[in-house]
Amino acid sequence: MSDAQDHPQIYLISPAEFDLSTYPDQLAACLDSTEVACMRLALATTDEARIAKAADALREVTHARDVALVIDSHILLVERLGLDGVHLQDGARSVKKVRKDLGDDAIVGSFCGNSRHDGMTAGELGADYVSFGPVGATPLGDGRQAELELFEWWSMMIEVPVVAEGALDAERIRTLAPHTDFFGIGPEIWDQDTPAKALCALRTAMLG
């Protein structure tokens, strides 16, 4: 993953559950419809066999299109499944060890909620990107949101690329676009009848 130069880039997040008979084709349609920088496999299951099957299917789709594929949390599966890196959910706590374990070439990202401190620490310890969210209101979680001011401050003060994710819509994307490098997009499109069409609409919002 690299910094967005003129406009933010798309960072797709898989559904927590999906059907392997249909989802890879949906994903392929999305990747063929607009440029995507990275994909996160974010299954809710802890069944290693199911995760491996999903990773194999998604890797075939993403790598054929030169899109990096990272996995949510499962550090030990990165090399085993031929993935490009891991997305950590514990702020800065694991970054140093994971960077050492996976090496410099792996992508290591860190979700930091709305904590500047965790974000800065994760960056200092070797995270390739920091993710903040949710940026919109959601009944899930503890009610805390990553506000516009956090992204404004980060984009002025910190060089580590930043991802905005969680409860996005076109209006929030337009507001945040000048201040973020990536938008983490998941349920916003997978819940729609035609995910590729929904993704293109959000991409239009990113472009202003």
pLDDT digits (tens, 9 = 90+) for 188-205: 999 999 999 999 999 999
pLDDT 10s digits, 42-64? 999 999 999 999 999 999 999 99
- Dihedral sign of CA atoms 192, 55, 50, 131 in order: negative
pLDDT 10s digits, 66-90? 999 999 999 999 999 999 999 999 9
Q: Does the pLDDT of residue 166 top 80, yes or no?
A: yes
* Residue 171 pLDDT level (bands cut at 50, 70, 90): very high
Q: Does the pLDDT of residue 3 top 70, yes or no?
A: no
CATH, range 9-206:
3.20.20.70
Query: What pTM did the predictor assign?
Result: 0.95
Report the run of H or E that residue 99 belongs to, with start and end.
helix 95-102
Give the rounded percent of residues in the chain with a pLDDT score beyond 90: 93
CA–CA dist 26, 184 (Å, integer): 17
pLDDT 10s digits, 88-142? 999 999 999 999 999 999 999 999 999 999 999 999 999 999 999 999 988 877 8
CA–CA dist 167, 5 (Å, integer): 24
Q: Which long-range contacts (CB under 8 A, 24 or more apart) does 184-191 make?
A: 184/11, 184/12, 184/13, 184/40, 184/131, 184/133, 185/10, 185/11, 185/12, 185/13, 186/12, 186/13, 186/14, 186/15, 186/42, 187/15, 189/30, 190/14, 190/15, 190/18, 190/26
Mean per-residue pLDDT, 20-31: 98
CA–CA dist 37, 62 (Å, integer): 10
Do 119 and 157 meet the contact criterion of CB atoms below 8 Å apart? no
Mean per-residue pLDDT, 24-28: 98
Q: Does the pLDDT of residue 172 top 60, yes or no?
A: yes
